[in-house]
Chain A
Amino acid sequence: AQKITQTQPGMFVQEKEAVTLDCTYDTSDPSYGLFWYKQPSSGEMIFLIYQGSYDQQNATEGRYSLNFQKARKSANLVISASQLGDSAMYFCAMRGPPGGYNKLIFGAGTRLAVHP
């Protein structure tokens, strides 16, 4: 069965520093996709970054990068130069079973607090 694990219920970081949010996954399917979403206190789910299992390079989107280690089945999110507005819940998700029409399986989330 496919599974996503986020082991850090909460993290804090000083403004302008980098932070890594951990995500490990389990799947037997060689073709999969990994997503990160941000959920601020307002409640919306904001897409941040995507990594395909066959992508040769780690995904980057502005200050967000994904440290994809396929052999270890990890897909950690790195936020560089943290800002106060980065304080939010962060969810890692994986595309579900084959033919899953983009059904995503989510981790339980990590709450990030950025301190001035």
Chain B
Amino acid sequence: DAGITQSPRHKVTETGTPVTLRCHQTENHRYMYWYRQDPGHGLRLIHYSYGVKDTDKGEVSDGYSVSRSKTEDFLLTLESATSSQTSVYFCAISEFDGQNEKLFFGSGTQLSVL
């Protein structure tokens, strides 16, 4: 258990509304990531953070923004949700085990945009 909590676990919203997903970690990891999972695509990186207020885009960042005002929280915001953003969203952290950096995931958030 890498100490990652995602909230909410499930959310249903309407097209055009703003949505914020939260990722909280308790172990002071520097690197945090947001991925989305869609059928046939595996997981794709949306945004990532390499420190407080340090973030960068992934491969599918359009329509999403992120913020990291403190080490433990990484927020993903959909400014105006669209049906194409219906997906399962995973937060992840990097953890160094003494030899290699490994990625561990939270439990996921199922988002439905109607």
Please list the residues of chain A having a beta carbon within 8 angstroms of any beta carbon in chain B. 4, 33, 35, 37, 43-45, 47, 50, 52, 91, 93, 96, 101-104, 106-109
The reply to whether B102 and A91 contact each other, CB–CB distance below 8 Å, is no
Interface assignment of B13: CB less than 8 Å from any CB of chain A: no
Query: In whole angstroms, how far apart are the Cα atoms of A91 and B88 in the complex?
Result: 15
The reply to whether A108 and B42 contact each other, CB–CB distance below 8 Å, is yes
- Interface of chain B: mostly helix, strand, loop or mixed: strand
- Interface flags for B55-72 (1: CB within 8 Å of A; 0: not) read 010100000000000000
Query: In whole angstroms, how far apart are the Cα atoms of A35 and B92 in the complex?
Result: 14
The reply to whether A102 and B101 contact each other, CB–CB distance below 8 Å, is yes
Interface assignment of B84: CB less than 8 Å from any CB of chain A: no
How many residues does chain B have at the interface if contact means C-beta atoms less than 8 Å apart? 26
- Across the interface, B103 reaches (CB within 8 A) one of A44, A52, A104, A108, namely A104
- Across the interface, A50 reaches (CB within 8 A) one of B102, B107, B108, namely B102
Query: In whole angstroms, how far apart are the Cα atoms of A47 and B107 in the complex?
Result: 12
Binds A, one of B14-22, B44-52, B73-81: B44-52
Residues on A with C-beta less than 8 A from B58 are 103
CB distance from A78 to the nearest CB of B (A): 19
The reply to whether B48 and A103 contact each other, CB–CB distance below 8 Å, is yes
- Across the interface, B100 reaches (CB within 8 A) one of A4, A50, A101, namely A50
Residues on B with C-beta less than 8 A from A4 are 42
